[in-house]
């Protein structure tokens, strides 16, 4: 597993507190881009262009939050190929689309089953519900941000 141990909620909250400054968010994103170019090309691929500017900012914050929580202390690169990255994203989209639940939140239950880093996954879910942006998220933007964020975690956890 690329992440060496379970990341606790307390550790996550400490790292998130460090991201209250936009400069820190950009520093963590830059660190991520420098260390994982293949994953970065997936994270910031063309499909992100459907997001509004505010959704892109939220998405960037989520990416920085995940990376800040994992990098340096807990992460060892799995050296994934572009094809492996694509396969993981496809599996997440398929699981999401298979869910016939009424609400977005209920659809996410399937992603927690057997997921080894539940507190990390909760970062994405929680940040999608916090009022960090002025306009409400579009359903398409919300879905895309969740799936790409979940896939990002899967890529960082991959063996």
In a domain, 54, yes or no: yes
pLDDT tens digits along 45-68: 999 999 999 899 889 989 989 888
Which residue carries 């694509």 as its tokens? 86
Q: Average the pLDDT over 8-12 and give the result.
A: 87
Is 4 contained in some domain? no
pLDDT computed for residue 148 by the predictor? 95
The rounded radius of gyration (Å) of the Cα atoms in the chain is 15
Q: Which two tokens stand for residue 28?
A: 């963590």
Domain residues for the domain of 49 are: 9-157
Report how far residue 2's alpha carbon sits from residue 6's, in angstroms, rounded to the nearest whole number.
11
Per the domain annotation, does 2 fall within a domain? Answer: no
Whether residue 1 lies inside any domain: the answer is no
What is the average pLDDT value for the chain, to the nearest integer? 86
Q: Helix, strand or coil for residue 123?
A: helix
Termini Cα distance of the chain: 4
Domain-located, residue 14: yes
Write out the DSSP string of 4-18.
-SPPPHHHHHHHHHG
78 is a domain residue: yes
Q: Which residue in 156, 123, 157 sits closest to 32, CA to CA?
A: 156
Does 109 reside within a domain? yes
Q: What is the pLDDT of residues 65-103, one digit of tens each?
A: 988 888 767 777 778 888 988 999 999 999 999 998 778
pLDDT tops 60 at residue 129: yes
Work out how many domains the chain is built from and give that number.
Answer: 1
For residue 124, what is the enclosing H or E element? Answer: helix 118-129
């Amino acid at each position: 597993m690329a992440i060496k141990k379970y990341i606790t909620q307390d550790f996550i909250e400490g790292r998130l507190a460090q991201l209250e400054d936009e400069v820190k968010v950009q520093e963590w994103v830059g660190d991520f881009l420098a260390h994982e170019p293949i994953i970065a090309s997936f994270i910031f691929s063309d499909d992100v262009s459907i997001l509004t500017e505010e959704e892109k900012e939220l998405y960037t914050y989520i990416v920085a939050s995940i990376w800040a929580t994992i990098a340096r202390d807990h992460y060892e690169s799995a050296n994934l190929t572009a094809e492996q990255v694509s396969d993981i994203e496809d599996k997440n989209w398929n699981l999401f689309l298979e869910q016939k639940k009424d609400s977005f939140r209920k659809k996410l239950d399937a992603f927690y089953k057997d997921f080894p880093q539940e507190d990390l996954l909760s970062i994405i879910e929680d940040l999608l519900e916090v009022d960090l942006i002025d306009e409400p998220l579009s359903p398409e933007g919300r879905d895309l941000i969740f799936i790409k964020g979940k896939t990002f975690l899967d890529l960082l956890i991959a063996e």
